[in-house]
Amino acid sequence: MIKITRLKLFAQIFFFLVFVYLGYLGVRIIEWNKIMLVVPTLSCYYTDHRVASCFLRSLQEGLSGGWSTGYKNLLAPVIFLVIFGLIFGRAWCSWACPLGFIQDLSTRIRKWLKIGYCNLSENMKLASVFTRWFLVLALFTLAIGIGIPGFFLKEYQYDLITPFCQICPSKQIIPFVQGRFREMLTVDTISTLSTVMSFLAIGIFIFYLLTTSFIRRMWCRLCPMGAILGLFNRFSLLSLRKEGKRCTRCGVCRRSCPVQVTEVYEEKEKEKISPSDCTLCFRCVEMCPEKDALKVGLSKFPLARSQYKRFIKSTAVRVTKEKEKSR
Amino acid sequence: MKKTNDAKYLPTLPLEEKEELQKTFKAAVGKTVSENIEKMKLVPNRPAAMEYFDRVSDFFGQREKELREFKAKGGKVIGYACMLTPVELILAAGAIPVRIDSGFYSPSKIGDRIVPVEVCPVVRSMIGLAMANLYPYLEMCDAIISPNTCDGKTKVCEILSDVYPVWEMNVPRIKDTPQAKEYWLQQVRDVKEKIEKLTGRAITRKGMRASIETTLKATEASRRLLELRKGPPVISGRDAMLVSQMSFFDDIPRWTEKTNRLCDELEKKCAENSYVAPQDTPRILLTGSPMIWPDCWKIPNLIEESKPQGLIVADEFCSGDRVFFDPVGVDEGTTGDMLRAIAERYVLPCTCPCFTSEDGNRDRIDKLLTMVKDYRIGGVIYHVIRGCHLYAMEYMRLKRVFDKENIPIYYLDTEYSREDSGQMKTRIEAFLEMLATKTQTDDLY
């Protein structure tokens, strides 16, 4: 029985290598009939030799350039998003996203140093939900606004081009992991607005760095991509399933959830648990000590079930085997 | 003896009377224990590994000597009155935890001098033990941790504070609100500090890790036994109950090892098809007030000896299978997280009726229903000790659910004394008869 966390780590490393370094091997953007492969992770525009495009980037480009073409360019990215979203839900966040991987790495280092973490209070959790939907709203308004001829935002179209990408922490991180340190933390002084955007970007990057070590998966709670993908959780094939009758409500799932989802603990009736915060990392499944209480489901078909053996393997307290001795 | 002046409840007994009581108590306990063991030995194909637990079950044996030696070397023994005590913290400080719930009948008569007879016999018996200084494990306690769960436990520990330092923990009765979580965590932190002060040893991260590992192993062994009991009848219910009760005062790593050895033997028996009862014996689930060794063995003895016979395959007692059932689930190995894990393990999954939540104590009903399914239960016996109001009051809700699910459930209210054994026998036999005919007719159709 392989630990879900370990499997996830392999997946994250794999996707990190694919999204960040595969281009160096000569693989170019995967295209088919001029349709770019769009993935719903922060696979960044600022990557040299990228192999796939970030959905947010394509969305913003499609929105701002769409006035004259009738937003035709949006079709491909949205179809990709819907397909990937319906299959995997928000699992992209915890299994593939490079930014998520970096957050997990910093958590691993923090755990290794035996430093505790902070939890967001209920109010702060609510605030984070508002923030991410505010970001989505701002993204749409700005991206559409700069595309409308005659609208006052059109004036700033070169300063505000792909507005979210300008402030995304990925803009600093991808050049860093690719060794292009000069492109990090740059300040664009062409106009006041672009200077403001640059400083905002640096501010958000510093916020990302500071919070990511002490608040588990802080960025995921603010990410507009996560907000959009979260809408698919309710319909996704890959999902978290619960048999409420078998739950003893010991609260381990609630405590070990990196984004502080409480529905897994609270729900007793519904079989499918799909809060939009959940990144489907399935930490709760491996930490649940009750047999079959929680399941990783592909639709109704269980891929993995919670059981005591899995729990023992996944807790932080290692249990050394002494079975040989007793026999 | 720590405090003598300013007794709030307990009178000081004359020395001669104490000695007299001690002598009769020892004789009475010895008699009950050996009687019960003899009865359990009559079970066919009884596992040989039970021999160890038989030995431990006599309170005044090897374990008492071990504890006295431990104390002579300066070790501390900490008693606890309820399952909700974070045992891991006691272990982490190098002290020995001893559960002081009393299942003795004779001391309960001494307790009658302080509290009315309507009070639950566990409480009266504990008072009697303390008053006449009868029970070596209670006598050796350097302190008693008392989570204030039911009314009886809350008050008995106040009474015991005449003799011992008692550290009370205020248990939040509505257990799953954020405030309750924080509050209980603070209680656990406070108790941790008190333990550290008593033992003079800091409870470190490593110490806690090791103690959690100890209890996790015990939980694993206990769950292994439970898993085996889901199958064909390889162990009698009384034996399994004795095993889980011996963890009250036995050395936990040794208990784990012996339980694992028992499970090894049971696995072999499973393969050899050597059973303790016919396969079609009605399978009984016990729930309700705890049945504590040795004087509370009246009911299980009656169930498994009656004709037609019943087989206890599971129980939902805080003195039984629930002792080592819920594991401490540590997400990250920091001190804070381990403390939080320990705190949550004791309150959140606990099905004691002293808790309530938005939907009452629904977790208990769900747990029982799944147990009925998993253990293929034929009938449920709802045991209530007279005076245990919380369990008595929850019965009606449970009965309604069980009636709807068509699961036979039977209410038994009893006492520690054996006066009612005749009546109990008739009632149990009638219930088992009903179950036996039900299985036969079920087979027909």
B20-43 tens-digit pLDDT: 999 999 999 999 999 999 999 999
What residue of B is the nearest CA neighbor of A283? B331
**Which residues, including other chains, have CB under 8 Å from residue A200's CB and lie 6 or more apart?**
A166, A167
Q: How many CB contacts within 8 angstroms connect chain A with chain B? A: 104
What residue of A is the nearest CA neighbor of B178? A122
Instruction: Tell whether omega for the bond before B308 is within 30 degrees of 0, i.e. cis.
Output: yes
Q: Residue B348 is nearest to which of A122, A249, A287, comparing CB atoms? A: A249
> Chain B interface, mutation test: which of A213, A250, A283, A321, most B Cβ atoms within 10 Å?
A250
pLDDT exceeds 50 at position A226: yes
CB count, 10 Å around CB of A34? Answer: 6
Partners of residue B182 in chain A, C-beta under 8 Å: none
Q: Do A252 and B329 touch (CB under 8 A)?
A: yes
Q: Do B220 and A319 touch (CB under 8 A)?
A: yes
* pLDDT per residue as tens digits for the range A145-201: 888 888 888 888 788 888 888 888 988 888 888 888 888 888 888 888 889 999 999
| pTM > 0.95: yes or no | no
Chain B nearest-CA distance from A218, in A, is 17
pLDDT at A179: 85
Q: Compute CA distances B267 → A59, A288, B250, B342, whole Å.
A: 61, 26, 24, 32
pLDDT band at A215 (very low <50, low <70, confident <90, very high): very high
pLDDT at A102: 93
Q: With both helix axes pointing from N to C terminus, report the angle between A75-88 and A55-64 in degrees, rounded to the nearest 10.
A: 150
Distance of CA A98 to the CA centre of its chain: 8
pLDDT exceeds 80 at position B75: yes
pLDDT exceeds 70 at position A43: no
- Residues of A117-133 as b/e, b for ≥16 C-beta within 10 angstroms? beebeeeebeebbebbe
- Give B302 or A53, the one with higher predicted confidence: B302
Chain B nearest-CA distance from A253, in A, is 9
Distance of CA B302 to the CA centre of its chain: 19
Answer whether B76 touches A (CB < 8 Å). Answer: no
Q: State mean pLDDT over B370-392.
A: 93
Partners of residue A111 in chain B, C-beta under 8 Å: 332-334
Q: Which residue, chain included where needed, has tokens 């637990």?
A: B53
Q: Residue B331 is nearest to which of A249, A308, A316, comparing CB atoms? A: A316
> Chain A interface, mutation test: which of B52, B225, B332, most A Cβ atoms within 10 Å?
B332
pLDDT band at B443 (very low <50, low <70, confident <90, very high): low
Q: Do B338 and A111 touch (CB under 8 A)?
A: no
Q: Cα separation of B341 and B162, whole Å?
A: 33
pLDDT band at B442 (very low <50, low <70, confident <90, very high): low
pLDDT at A319: 84
Answer whether B11 touches A (CB < 8 Å). Answer: no
Do residues A39 and A96 make contact, with C-beta atoms less than 8 angstroms apart?
A: yes
Q: Residue B216 is nearest to which of A246, A248, A317, comparing CB atoms? A: A317
Answer whether B349 touches A (CB < 8 Å). Answer: yes
- Residues of B428-444 as b/e, b for ≥16 C-beta within 10 angstroms? bbebbeebbeebeeeee
Do residues A73 and A66 make contact, with C-beta atoms less than 8 angstroms apart?
A: yes
Partners of residue B335 in chain A, C-beta under 8 Å: 114, 116
Strand duo A238-242 + A294-298: pairing:
antiparallel
Q: Cα separation of B436 and B281, whole Å?
A: 8
Q: Tell me which residue of B214, B181, B227 sits closest to B348, measured CA to CA.
A: B181
Q: Which residue, chain included where needed, has tokens 């502080």?
A: A260
Q: Do B260 and A252 touch (CB under 8 A)?
A: no
Query: Which of A29-38, A271-280, B319-328 is predicted with the least confidence, judged by mean pLDDT?
Result: A29-38
pLDDT exceeds 60 at position A325: no
- Give A158 or B225, the one with higher predicted confidence: B225
What residue of A is the nearest CA neighbor of B205? A114
Partners of residue B344 in chain A, C-beta under 8 Å: 250-252, 255
Answer whether B371 touches A (CB < 8 Å). Answer: no
pLDDT at A327: 41
Q: State mean pLDDT over B356-374.
A: 89
pLDDT band at A326 (very low <50, low <70, confident <90, very high): very low
Partners of residue A322 in chain B, C-beta under 8 Å: 217, 257
* Mean pLDDT of all residues belonging to chain B: 91
Chain B nearest-CA distance from A291, in A, is 11
pLDDT at A38: 82
In what order do the strands lie in the sheet containing A238-242?
Answer: A272-273, A238-242, A294-298, A301-305
Q: Do A316 and B216 touch (CB under 8 A)?
A: no
CA dihedral defined by B423, B427, B429, B433, rounded to 10 degrees? 160
- DSSP, collapsed to helix, strand or coil, labels residue A75 as helix
Q: What is the ipTM of this complex?
A: 0.89
- What percent of chain B is predicted at pLDDT more than 90? 80
Q: State mean pLDDT over A288-308.
A: 92
* pLDDT per residue as tens digits for the range B410-427: 999 998 888 888 999 999
Q: Do B338 and A114 touch (CB under 8 A)?
A: no
Q: Do A251 and B344 touch (CB under 8 A)?
A: yes
pLDDT at A323: 52
Q: Do A326 and B260 touch (CB under 8 A)?
A: yes
> Chain A interface, mutation test: which of B222, B370, B371, most A Cβ atoms within 10 Å?
B370
Window 151-210 of B: residues touching A by CB (8 A cutoff) are 176, 178, 205, 209
Q: Tell me which residue of A127, A126, A161 sits closest to A142, measured CA to CA.
A: A161
Answer whether B334 touches A (CB < 8 Å). Answer: yes
Answer whether B333 touches A (CB < 8 Å). Answer: yes
Q: State mean pLDDT over B283-300.
A: 92
Q: Do A319 and B217 touch (CB under 8 A)?
A: yes
8-state DSSP, A155: G
pLDDT exceeds 60 at position B4: no
Looking at this protein, which amino acid is placed at residue B403? Answer: D
What residue of B is the nearest CA neighbor of A320? B213
Q: Cα separation of B408 and B398, whole Å?
A: 11
Looking at this protein, which amino acid is placed at residue A266? Answer: E
Q: Do B331 and A248 touch (CB under 8 A)?
A: no
Q: Compute CA distances B265 → B46, B255, B261, B269, whole Å.
A: 10, 15, 6, 6
Partners of residue B341 in chain A, C-beta under 8 Å: 252, 255
Angle at A283 between CA A105 and CA B221, to 5 degrees: 120
Q: Tell me which residue of A4, A1, A2, A3 sits closest to A238, measured CA to CA.
A: A4
Answer whether B261 touches A (CB < 8 Å). Answer: yes
Q: Do B217 and A315 touch (CB under 8 A)?
A: no
Q: Tell me which residue of A227, A232, A298 sits closest to A82, measured CA to CA.
A: A232
Partners of residue B328 in chain A, C-beta under 8 Å: 317
Q: Residue A312 is nearest to which of B176, B216, B334, comparing CB atoms? A: B216
Q: Residue B334 is nearest to which of A116, A283, A315, comparing CB atoms? A: A116
Q: State mean pLDDT over B42-52.
A: 93
Tokens representing A181 are: 């340190």
Tokens representing A53 are: 């495009």
Chain B nearest-CA distance from A277, in A, is 19
Chain B nearest-CA distance from A227, in A, is 26
Q: Do A248 and B330 touch (CB under 8 A)?
A: no
Answer whether B322 touches A (CB < 8 Å). Answer: no
CB count, 10 Å around CB of B184? Answer: 23
Q: Tell me which residue of A197, A208, A206 sits closest to A163, measured CA to CA.
A: A197
Q: B107: burial class by Cβ within 10 Å (0-12, 13-18, 19+)?
A: buried
* pLDDT per residue as tens digits for the range B155-172: 998 999 988 999 999 999
Chain B nearest-CA distance from A319, in A, is 6
- Residues of A272-298 as b/e, b for ≥16 C-beta within 10 angstroms? bbbbbbbbbbbbbbbbbbbbbbbbbbe
